[in-house]
Amino acid sequence: MIPGFLHEAEGYALLARAGWAVPRHGWLDAAPPFAAGEPVVVKGLGEDLWHKSELGAVQFAPFDSAALGRAAEAMRSRLAAAGHRWIGALVCERIAPARAEGLPAEGFVSLVRHEAGWIALVGCGGLQAEALAASVPPLRWPLALLTPAEALAELERHLLGRVWLGTLRGMTALTSRGQLAAFVQSIWSLAALAEAEQIALIEVNPVVLDSGGQPRPLDAVGRRAAPGLERIAPAEGFLTSLTNPCRVAIAGVSEKLGGVGRTILENLQRCPALTGQLVVIKPGETALLGAPCVPDVAALRAAPVDLLLLALPAEAAANVLAELIAQGGGARVVGLVAGGLGDGADTTGLGARLVAKLRAARAAGRWTPTVIGPNFLGHWVPAQKIDTSFIPEEKLPRPAPGGSLALLAQSGAFILCRRSRQPRLRLRLAVSLGNQLDAALPDFLHALAADPGCRAIAAYVEGFAPGQLAATVQAALKLRERRVPLVLLRAGRTAAGQAAAATHTGAMAGDLTLERELLTRVGVKFADSIAAFDAAINWLSVFPELRSGPLAFVTNAGVEAVNASDLATPRQPVATLSDSATRALAHLLAEEKLAGLVAPRLPLDLTPTAGERAFLRAAELLLAGDAAVLLIGLVPFTRQLATEPEPAAEFGRALAALVRAAGKPAGLVVDAGSDYENFRAALAEGELPVFTRAEEAIAGLHVLA
């Protein structure tokens, strides 16, 4: 047995145990089971040799021990010259594969032991497998997340399955559905055996169909698993220390105006619940800026805090955290504000040493705090007026009252920009995750899955470190059970973006296609741009249970009606009206003096002559119909619409009352410049999402659909 590498003979043995019909085979020097003259294939096996044909280590010939021996010696010389240690010459039955003229009929199977479980890649194989994958992407099956029956249905729709089953026009079936089902089931059996044998990867390429339609592997190599460290997550219950802390300590506060520590203290002093419960760690001082002081973290051992914020340089922060771990108590959560711990600026291994201390303590069952950061820019809980950032109050608009949306981001600046651009977001919690030295995205997702006050989550992700993707998949399953939507904006989708993300937060590059496949299968929604993400969270902030379906669009501008139609998709089509609804709408238009000007159909263009009453009556009628979502476009330049704050707010509240009564989501669009920002703000008093363009609103719906 070769450590690490799994050669073809070993691969065949494993496949045979899993029920695969492997070719007859045997070692050339051990009397292989073939008669003289029988068509065979001789293969030279070498250590870490994955592609034998490229080195001339595959030869088709009639069985003749002497001739094959000479061929094997030539192969041995070629492999030695290429640096591969010789394993032996394997003689295999020569199988005549079924062909499909002009179409790929060979397949491949790759089984990978991923942190999220076994992943099977199944697609068009053979020598041109990589080239074919560019135009016919392989299927990716997370075996823990779907059944063989579901996988079979996907294979039947894939080009390989259609060729094999002969469902393409003018084709004859090369195999039966029953044989294909057994083949798919054998992939699950193979994964179970590989797991038991501690094998990390199996490549089977090609897989061909024989004359009886039986799938046959013609090569099988792999790699055994290397030992690794399991991720040890922080203790449960840390979220309460962020959403409802009773006592908070800050280290690194000075009297300097505008200093990081001082600004954090000033922001926290506006939280009524923390009055008298803020402590500054400052040697030699008894009080500072209205807060009592303690000399060091040892003082917290007897009087613990829920949250300790370390606004200190990297080395000093690491020392304080190490003291806290050593003393076994003092703070449930620690926020590391500085960078330089575990990122590109950490040249002395500070971050690695802290991780080792946390891991060792947790593995031994000892107490540790939950650590957020480094580069923890802060967190916000609007309902409690909690703000742990070092951003001055005057630099951001006043946030809306608390809501049910949680916003998480590996970039603190990303959250700040969202707060600045969308001050009306109704947030339950927003957290800058920073470099995730300890507490990471999946830990927050697991915690939020148990939080009844959280009804929607949106997150900006730059990468997953080892262990985090699997934990995120498990958290997403919990969220799906609770019907809590999770929207991700995955940055670093290009090589340049990955490099920038790694520089910024130490984010790990990974197989982005696999990430998306895994997370989509467990219900995660993806936004492909910041604009689409912003639009989606605008909807979720007010309507966390929004579902896809027909969209009814009402506007006073024809261009918006046309635009809405152009943006329709099968999951978010333009709604249609029943005959009775059409008659009711025609009657409404007549009463509003719009008959002859407006056609009773969707999208509904009420023209610039319509006022608030016409919009409200149309909205009420359409909310009672089959539409899943209502969108109202208000181009504000006409005198028929009052854009002053008081009447606009009254209109927004009236519309919101209709929406609540109907139990359906609705949004408003004001396609106009910054002069009408007060109009948008007034409309939003009804607690409906307001957008600046129809495309923006519909893009958000597409993400959620």
DSSP string, 588-601: HHHHTT-BTTB-SS
What is the reported pLDDT for 492? 66
Angle at the Cα of 366 (from 365 to 370), degrees rounded to 5?
105
CA-based torsion, 461, 465, 468, 473: positive or negative: positive
Long-range contacts of 275-278 (CB under 8 A, 24+ apart): 277/246, 277/247, 277/248, 278/247, 278/248, 278/249, 278/250
Assign 529 to helix, strand or coil.
Answer: coil
What is the reported pLDDT for 507? 35
C-alpha span between 520 and 490 (Å, rounded):
12
Closest CA to 685 of 287, 401, 474: 401
What is the reported pLDDT for 346? 81
CATH class belonging to 236-377: alpha beta
In this structure, the strands spanning 248-251 and 199-209 are unpaired
What is the reported pLDDT for 566? 85
Q: 332: exposed, middle or buried (C-beta count within 10 Å: 0-12, 13-18, 19+)?
A: buried
Same fold flag, 396-545 and 551-704: yes
Q: Cα 592 from chain centroid? A: 48
SS3 sequence, 119-142?
Answer: EEEEEECCCCHHHHHHHCCCEEEE
C-alpha span between 75 and 79 (Å, rounded):
6
CA neighbours within 13 Å on the CB side: how many for 610? Answer: 30
The single-letter code of the amino acid at 253 is V
User: What topology does CATH give the domain 551-704?
Assistant: Rossmann fold (3.40.50)
What is the reported pLDDT for 349? 86
What is the reported pLDDT for 497? 43
What is the reported pLDDT for 590? 96
Which stretches in the chain have pLDDT values below 50? 1-2, 495-510
What is the reported pLDDT for 580? 95
Q: Domain residue spans in the chain?
A: 24-93, 107-224, 236-377, 396-545, 551-704
What is the reported pLDDT for 569? 86
pLDDT tens digits for 438-482?
A: 999 999 999 999 999 999 999 999 988 888 999 999 999 999 999
Token representation of residue 73 = 């010696």
CATH architecture of 107-224: 2-Layer Sandwich (3.30)
Q: 557: exposed, middle or buried (C-beta count within 10 Å: 0-12, 13-18, 19+)?
A: buried
Instruction: Output helix, strand, coil percentages for the chain, rounded to the nearest 5.
Output: 40, 20, 40
* Cα radius of gyration (the chain): 32
CATH class belonging to 396-545: alpha beta
- Helices 612-623, 645-662: inter-axial angle, 10-degree rounding: 10
What is the reported pLDDT for 270? 96
pLDDT tens digits for 117-161?
A: 899 999 999 877 777 878 889 999 999 999 999 999 999 999 999
What is the reported pLDDT for 501? 39
